[in-house]
Structure 1
Amino acid sequence: MQTHEIRDRFTQHFVDAGHTAVPSASLILDDPTLLFVNAGMVPFKPYFLGQQNPPFENRTATSIQKCVRTLDIDEVGITTRHNTFFQMAGNFSFGGYFKEGAIRNAWSLLTKPVAEGGFGLDPERLWVTVYLDDDEAADIWENIVGVPAERIQRMGMEDNYWSMGVPGPCGPCSEIYYDRGPDYGAEGGPEADEHRYMEIWNLVFMQYERGPSDENGNFEILGELPQKNIDTGLGIERVACLLQGVDNVYETDLLRPVINVAEELTGATYNENHDNDVRFRVIADHTRTAMMLILDGVTPSNEGRGYILRRLMRRVIRSARLLGAESKTLESFLATVMDTMSPSFPEIEDNRDRILRVAATEEKAFLRTLESGTELFDRTAASIKEAGKTTVGGHQAFELHDTYGFPIDLTLEMAAEAGLEVDMDGFNAEMTAQRERAKADNKAKKHGHADESVYRQWVDDNPTEFLGYEQLTADATVLGLVRGGQSVTTAKAGDEIEVILDVTPLYAESGGQLADRGRLVAGDTVIEVKDVQKIAKRVFVHKATVVSGGVELGMSVKAEVDETWRHGARQAHTATHLIHGALRQVLGPTAVQAGSLNRPGYLRFDFNYTEQLSDEQLEEIALIANQVVDADYPVNTVETTLDEAKAMGALALFGENYGDNVRVVEVAGPFSTELCGGTHVASSAQIGPVAVLGESSVGSGARRIEAYSGMDAFRYYSREAALVSGVASTLKAKSDDLPARISQLTERLKAAEKEIAALHQQQLMSNTAALVDEAETLGDVTVLIRQLPDGVTGGDLRTVGSDLRGKLAGRPAVVVLASRNDAKLPFVVAATAEAVDMGVKAGDLVKTFGEYVDGRGGGKPDMAQGSGATPEGAEAGFRAVKDALGGL
């Protein structure tokens, strides 16, 4: 039974029992406590916690939820039952049925004959566990369902009691296990051997309320819940193992094809040695998880969800290299996973190109990292062993991480493979030191690791006077020159130099506003200023290039701000205040600034908020900001004490350290009053239009709005207007009618695609009757071998093969089909029950055929499939299959 059919049967069983079918939620929910959805009940938490009333008829629901768990990522492949991505089928009751209903529903689906929509498992091989004192559940299992007492085992809190880990709902569990037989381990039920006895279903009886945990993890039961709930979870992958007759989750129809492709691309063979088997499983598991994460919008990065994705993808790439791959593999693995998963997740096809693009970019980058980092690690490991040591030093591991971009988890893996340990205390100390350097570098950005003591003389004796609020030019004296981290007295044309002046009109980067651009001029000397940074909040360091002439200490120069740059920066920074004020009006006072960046014409504004903003909220924020622009309010600045500023209601932002004297910027009175040292326009109308581009998540509980201001906003609106006009012209519709018109066209396109797919299927199936007439007899076996027209996919071949097998039922018959599909040749072998009884094994025939087309495949005795890389060998493969059948 294919996995997608297992899903369908589960859902239908509970829909027939009165449950509402709920689609899987995204792996990424707006829940600050979770990196990914890790259990089927997560999307239903508001109903279990009583925060919302369930909107489902009969107060019951069923779903098959996408889940990802990565805490024990290093165990993947070592055990044969662990996946980072899995599908959790669940049924839920919110105050409806309780223990007896949940137990009956589960038992019925598991044991009901396949012909009646069940899974057809042998009830004699099912065992159950209950919580130690849950006599009620034990009684239902024994006296109502009929499970013998000797197959009901009681287990403790660690195994059979559930809570969220915090005060709230809790309750006992009952788990269902399948006995896989003596080949898998010792007798005695789940308490004796959970490898032989595979857990397939967990029933949670949510009936109590618990208090907080003590230091030992114990908690008090406060009483019964006013509403008793049911939360159950059946592992789709584990049931697929049982119903497909395979040993583990890596050999089911969803993952084994990936291993087959990995064998083709690496030249290694699965099931030959343990280390390689682990690598094959890592490839299969992590590829699928990575694909599902990219599908739901995660992109590789160095933090949070993106880091998890990057780590998974890099483990796939490295495992393939260790198996023998010499070229790129990730795209092939992902394409295979998308083929196997698409029947259950049709949205994959719409995102196929995007997913493959992400994979290609990541693999290209990591292969470069892997080459340089692996070479360094090998040299390091060899030198450590030569010295008779067993530990990779913390500084060595940090160098791999910091210089070569080598993740520490990869270093740990490679060290373990080399029989070495890693000094993690030393590594963590290096990381801490780096964070401290980064903190300092934030204050004096772009000074690298220069010794800041070089600036000490100016910090102590000659702090820079900033004149830029009132003027854009100033006569200044060169007090200091720094080149390459060293104080110098002169610099010539072409030198990169840092200049310290007694006064300056150029703004130094701070408060999210980028530094001014400008120049220093004195006669023939022209120095282009590209950046200005503050040291100790007192000295302005002008990072510059000497374009012509020369400069020396004591020289008088005219410092000039690039007026165009400053004007755009002032517009963007003042627009940031407007966005903040509008946000607080729309979302309330809890939406406070968490960071910002302002450059001419553009701003991004980070704020603390846990929910995605709606289109309506974004429109309202943009409207309010532009209303303030239109009203042309004066932008007032006041210099005062910190206490007086707070008394005025001025906002102090995201942990800034303010001195005793501060600058308050006020726009439209109470609408926006903030502490801010940036440069601003004189009145709100000078900002020009503000165009809100959108908002996104930038971490747990934080979101980001991006916008244009001034001419950049005008140009943005002009481009949008031109785009809308062009689309309206093409569709011959008014601009206001475009949403409805595009929606209508989209629906028509979807309908046409469905119709084309249906016609394609009908065309294939319409020819099966004629094909049956062409079957030939080899001894006692009827054989139908055909290469179908080009372009028939492996899935369609399977459908046609199954249909032909049905038409040939009642006699020993074998169907062998293939079709050229681009440079590949998918092929299928299907055998009737009578042929199987004679000794035919479709899986063996698939391997025989595969030898002639450079392909591999597998399956069950009655149905198997594969794919080859040399379509030209098909005729020889067909003859080989005939020869094999002729010997029966």
Structure 2
Amino acid sequence: MDTAEIRRRFLAHFEAAGHAVVDSASTLANDPNLLFVNAGMVPFKPYFLGQETPPFDRATSVQKCIRTPDIEDVGKTTRHATFFEMCGNFSFGDYFKAGAIELAWSLVTNPVDEGGYGLDKDRLYPSVLVGDDEAIELWMKVTGLPRERIVQLGPKENYWSMGVPGPGGPCSEILFDRGPDFGPDFDATTLGPDMPVDLEDRLLEIWNLVFMQDDLSAVRSKSDFDIAGSLPKKNIDTGMGLDRVALLLQGKKNVYEIDLLYPVIARAEQLSGKTYGVDREDDVRFCVVADHVRSSMMLIGDGVTPGNDGRGYVLRRLLRRAVRSMRLLGCEDRVLPELMPISRDVMGPVYGNLVTDWERIAQVAYAEEDAFRKTLQAGTQIFDQAADEVKRTGGATLSSERAFALHDTYGFPIDLTLEMAAEQGLTVDEQGFRGLMAEQRERAKADARAKKGSHGDTVVYRGILDEHGPTEWLAYETLETESRPLALLSGGAATSRLAEGEIGELVLDRTPFYAESGGQVADAGTIVFDGGRLEVIDVQRPIKGLVVHQVRVLEGELDAGREVHARVDPEWRIGARQAHSGTHVVHAALREVLGPTALQSGSYNRPGYLRLDFGWTQGLSAEQVRDIEQVSQQALRADLAVGWDYMTLEQAREWGAIALFGETYDNTQVRVVEIGGPWSRELCGGTHVDHSSQIGTVVVTGETSVGSGNRRIEALTGVEGFAYLARERDVVAQLTGLLKTQPDDLVGRVQGLTERLKNAEKELEKARLAQLLGASAELAAGATQVGQVKVVAHRADGAGGGDVRNLAIDVRGRLPQGEPGVVVIIGSADGKVSVVAATNDEARARGLSAGELVRAVGPLLGGKGGGKDDVAQGGGSDASRIDEALALVSTEVARAAG
């Protein structure tokens, strides 16, 4: 049974049982605790947390997921993948344990001709939480299985929580016995509390049923918490691994051999000339390629671009591991243009954006491969330098710090470092490297734990929402409201009053203030009451439906009983509307100039200023930037109408509205803003002008890189844009006055002056160098005799590194032929000290080394250096000890020459 049919049967089974079919959300989680959606329930999390009311009692979905902790396990087990599809069914206060068990068991075991999967009941083993007798009895009743076929596991395996206060509950898994080829024999009655590692492939978990019944508090970790009581409504959250069921129904040994992944392996075989299934190490590489190519494609499809942190770093790591694995399989050429289209053709029938957005996806992926190929070349040079240094000092081990720097700074994979070190007869402090990696992961975890506080903070906001209901939000309709305070917060906790000078949070029953979202900053303004005044510092929506104002008490003392007047600063709002509409205009102009693949990946706008990030692999030319600015100005001149309407997400997509990457949208109703009809249609909740001419102007002030495959345009709008142009006009006026020329001739006049200045600097440099080298003959003639060696040790004040090197080499060439000679020049310029040593053939024959001389004097100068035996250089920062360092030269020469 192909995977498409497995997916279809799952949704059809639950739709027939009264479940609403919900499309997969993006892999990008709108959650401070998650980089990616890592389970099918994540899009439903607000319903389980009570932050939102679900629009249905039952739902089912096939959700695309990314699980980054499994990256290192890919290919090493039969079941781990970084991208996977989780088939799930969910009950929100509707059916519970019995219903979930019945629905899962019937689909898994019903015959194929009756719409089921037809799995052999004799090879299925339900698992329950130790002590969950209710679940045991239900499994026996529903399935007819004896008690000894039901595995009891501990909370590590069979208790589910989010790791934060909120819902949790026992789990029940469906395990499939794959037979003795995949693990040792077992006795189901003696298993537990943890599943033995050597049985994880044999007893393959294909479905997990979460019985969400407990209200958790004091959560210390995912397995250490207190149960405050029972949930008022019991929920069901299940997840069936699509790839895992596919490997069973397709008779494969692992998930990499199913119909969604093996075609990539087959193409990799053709490219590499190697055969899958022959060598274990090569098989792991084939699996990594298949998995990572698919995962990368799906992430790029959802708007992720390669970067150095967060989601971008995960994508970069996946792409580079795929390319590196192909290199280890013997393929040195570009591989992604050969492999990724295979994955597109397999996944595209389900995820149509992979086909319609293919040009952009391919552009991002292929550019990253090209960048990595350059990184490998540069990293190889850095590795060679490090290896040479280890050998020169008599060592045999590359330090963990060097290996970590190659990995972390230059993107050089550790397996490549290990391989190249072995080729040069060196080892790597791999244990130390793993330790540094562990420290980095722990820092990331600590940062994630710190961020988790944001979920805990929502408890107080949920209480306000439950008690008073949602805020009446009037930002689209008015700039002023008469309002009533519902709650005051100080330091995250409820308070009865805010005193003068205090900063706190205020929740109103109704507000005209725009809360920060969609790249637009929050409104500024004031809230006044009898005897007092508040400054609005920030406005946020910590949970859906609730608007929270951060305020500073400027006058008086506020308590919850006072009526207040909330007023948005009108000038601020005008500037914000101009900037946000300007962002839409620039985005449309960008696509018109560069093509439809130039899509916004992020934005920020405040009054008078906009910043727009977009996926693009190369810098824009000055002509392209001018064209974008010109198209924007033409849109303003055309006085295009700006309008907005509400519709379903599906209707918006059919209408051609652009949904921005990384944003999450309500499936039932979205707001579409259009400028000039179809010219610009985007899903957006921001505030906008009524006609494009009201933006005033769009002045592009910069275009820069913000990481591989990402560019940024910055621009000014409205009064700020005109002010910028006025400043430029003033600069032009000042320059034309100074140069006594006309504005049209200014560029030519400046170019002429610049050329004359460059020529003069060249002549000065020639004269200075001639003067410096003119002393070479005198220095050579004044060489000191140290034993049989001619020694020149000279101080060159005002000379930098390049001059010092030229002088040392020139002096060495003027020393008497046939006699051993050593030259050491130390210069100082701009607070930096430069030292260069040079030796001739005769000196080196006597054991004198330029590199050793530089290493000897370097510490005196507050620095270090090194190099070859004939010429070496170094630097430092302590010019006060130059004379002492020069005196040391003769001592070192005498010692080395005997």
Q: TM-score, normalised by structure 1?
A: 0.51
The residue aligned with 1:612 is 518
Give distance in 2, aligned partners of 1:313 and 1:119.
35
The residue aligned with 2:763 is none
Q: Equivalent residues in 2 for 1:532-681 (5 A)? A: 611-612=517-518, 671=569
The residue aligned with 1:692 is 582
Give distance in 1, aligned partners of 2:321 and 2:571.
50
2:617 corresponds to 1:705: no
2:366 corresponds to 1:360: yes
2:14 corresponds to 1:19: no
| Residue 197 to residue 330, structure 1, CA distance change in 2 (3 Å) | same
Give distance in 1, aligned partners of 2:375 and 2:273.
24
The residue aligned with 1:76 is 74
User: Could you tell me how far 1:609 is from its partner in structure 2?
Assistant: 7.9
The residue aligned with 2:86 is 88
Give distance in 1, aligned partners of 2:45 and 2:99.
21
| 2:70 and 2:80 in contact (8 A); partners too | no
| 2:40 and 2:65 in contact (8 A); partners too | yes
The residue aligned with 1:471 is none
| 1:398 and 1:430 in contact (8 A); partners too | no
Count of aligned residue pairs for this structure pair: 522
SS of 1:245's equivalent in the other structure is coil
The residue aligned with 2:171 is 173
2:254 to 226, 230, 248: 248
2:133 corresponds to 1:135: yes
| 1:266 and 1:320 in contact (8 A); partners too | yes
Give distance in 2, aligned partners of 1:313 and 1:49.
35
User: Could you tell me how far 1:183 is from its partner in structure 2?
Assistant: 2.2
SS of 1:40's equivalent in the other structure is coil
| Residue 139 to residue 330, structure 1, CA distance change in 2 (3 Å) | same
2:200 corresponds to 1:194: yes
| Residue 237 to residue 648, structure 1, CA distance change in 2 (3 Å) | closer
SS of 2:76's equivalent in the other structure is coil
User: Could you tell me how far 1:719 is from its partner in structure 2?
Assistant: 2.5
| 1:13 and 1:109 in contact (8 A); partners too | yes
1:65 to 57, 63, 66: 63
SS of 1:612's equivalent in the other structure is coil
Query: 2:332 is matched by which residue type in structure 1?
Result: E
Give distance in 1, aligned partners of 2:439 and 2:158.
43
User: Could you tell me how far 1:372 is from its partner in structure 2?
Assistant: 2.4
Q: Equivalent residues in 2 for 1:721-736 (5 A)? A: 722=634
Sequence identity percentage: 48
| 1:693 and 1:708 in contact (8 A); partners too | no
Give distance in 2, aligned partners of 1:378 and 1:47.
56
Query: 2:161 is matched by which residue type in structure 1?
Result: S
User: Could you tell me how far 1:290 is from its partner in structure 2?
Assistant: 0.4
Deviations 1:517-538 (A, max 9, x none): xxxxxxxxxxxxxxxxxxxxxx
Give distance in 1, aligned partners of 2:176 and 2:480.
55
2:379 to 373, 376, 386: 373
Give distance in 1, aligned partners of 2:205 and 2:319.
29
2:49 corresponds to 1:41: no
Query: 2:399 is matched by which residue type in structure 1?
Result: G
User: Could you tell me how far 1:407 is from its partner in structure 2?
Assistant: 6.5
2:98 corresponds to 1:208: no
| Residue 387 to residue 133, structure 1, CA distance change in 2 (3 Å) | farther
Q: Equivalent residues in 2 for 1:418-817 (5 A)? A: 420-422=428-430, 423-424=432-433, 611-612=517-518, 671=569, 692-693=582-583, 704-705=604-605, 719-720=631-632, 722=634
Query: 1:251 is matched by which residue type in structure 2?
Result: E
| 1:649 and 1:673 in contact (8 A); partners too | no
Give distance in 1, aligned partners of 2:204 and 2:395.
43
The residue aligned with 2:151 is 153
Give distance in 2, aligned partners of 1:649 and 1:738.
33
The residue aligned with 1:115 is 113
User: Could you tell me how far 1:292 is from its partner in structure 2?
Assistant: 0.5
| 1:295 and 1:355 in contact (8 A); partners too | yes
User: Could you tell me how far 1:182 is from its partner in structure 2?
Assistant: 2.1
Give distance in 1, aligned partners of 2:60 and 2:259.
24
2:244 corresponds to 1:238: yes
| Residue 419 to residue 345, structure 1, CA distance change in 2 (3 Å) | farther
| Residue 179 to residue 610, structure 1, CA distance change in 2 (3 Å) | farther
2:403 corresponds to 1:397: yes
Give distance in 2, aligned partners of 1:383 and 1:397.
14
| 2:86 and 2:240 in contact (8 A); partners too | yes
Query: 2:16 is matched by which residue type in structure 1?
Result: D
Give distance in 1, aligned partners of 2:97 and 2:276.
44
User: Could you tell me how far 1:219 is from its partner in structure 2?
Assistant: 2.2
| 2:579 and 2:607 in contact (8 A); partners too | no
SS of 2:583's equivalent in the other structure is strand
Give distance in 2, aligned partners of 1:82 and 1:103.
25
User: Could you tell me how far 1:268 is from its partner in structure 2?
Assistant: 1.7
The residue aligned with 2:530 is none
Give distance in 1, aligned partners of 2:221 and 2:636.
62
User: Could you tell me how far 1:148 is from its partner in structure 2?
Assistant: 2.2
Deviations 1:618-644 (A, max 9, x none): 9x98xx99xxxxxxxxxxxxxxxxxxx
The residue aligned with 2:287 is 281
The residue aligned with 2:356 is 350
| 2:167 and 2:231 in contact (8 A); partners too | yes
2:332 corresponds to 1:326: yes
The residue aligned with 2:296 is 290
Give distance in 2, aligned partners of 1:724 and 1:648.
37
SS of 1:692's equivalent in the other structure is helix
SS of 2:208's equivalent in the other structure is strand
User: Could you tell me how far 1:721 is from its partner in structure 2?
Assistant: 6.8
| Residue 41 to residue 215, structure 1, CA distance change in 2 (3 Å) | closer
Query: 2:240 is matched by which residue type in structure 1?
Result: L
| Residue 705 to residue 738, structure 1, CA distance change in 2 (3 Å) | closer
SS of 1:693's equivalent in the other structure is helix
| 2:480 and 2:568 in contact (8 A); partners too | no
1:261 to 247, 257, 267: 267
Give the structure, 1 or 2, with the largest relative contact order (CA under 8 Å, sep 6 or more). Answer: 2
The residue aligned with 2:771 is none
Give distance in 2, aligned partners of 1:672 and 1:404.
49
Give distance in 2, aligned partners of 1:45 and 1:745.
24
SS of 1:66's equivalent in the other structure is strand
Deviations 1:581-633 (A, max 9, x none): 99x9899999xxxxxxxxxxxxxxxxx988436xxx79x98xx99xxxxxxxx
| 1:84 and 1:285 in contact (8 A); partners too | yes
SS of 1:367's equivalent in the other structure is helix
Query: 2:201 is matched by which residue type in structure 1?
Result: H
| 1:130 and 1:175 in contact (8 A); partners too | yes
SS of 2:342's equivalent in the other structure is helix
SS of 1:72's equivalent in the other structure is helix
| 2:580 and 2:605 in contact (8 A); partners too | no
Give distance in 2, aligned partners of 1:213 and 1:294.
35
Deviations 1:37-93 (A, max 9, x none): 00100011111112222101xx00000011001123212111121000000000000
Query: 1:146 is matched by which residue type in structure 2?
Result: G
| Structure 1: gaps of 5 or more residues | 433-580, 591-607, 626-646, 654-668, 675-683, 697-701, 729-733, 751-888
| Residue 748 to residue 379, structure 1, CA distance change in 2 (3 Å) | closer
The residue aligned with 2:862 is none
Give distance in 2, aligned partners of 1:247 and 1:72.
18
Q: TM-score, normalised by structure 2?
A: 0.51
2:232 corresponds to 1:226: yes
The residue aligned with 1:537 is none
Aligned-residue CA RMSD (Å): 5.1
Give distance in 1, aligned partners of 2:267 and 2:332.
14
Deviations 1:756-784 (A, max 9, x none): xxxxxxxxxxxxxxxxxxxxxxxxxxxxx
Deviations 1:349-377 (A, max 9, x none): 11111111111111111101012213543
| 1:338 and 1:348 in contact (8 A); partners too | yes
Give distance in 2, aligned partners of 1:202 and 1:86.
15
| Residue 226 to residue 367, structure 1, CA distance change in 2 (3 Å) | same
| 1:96 and 1:229 in contact (8 A); partners too | yes
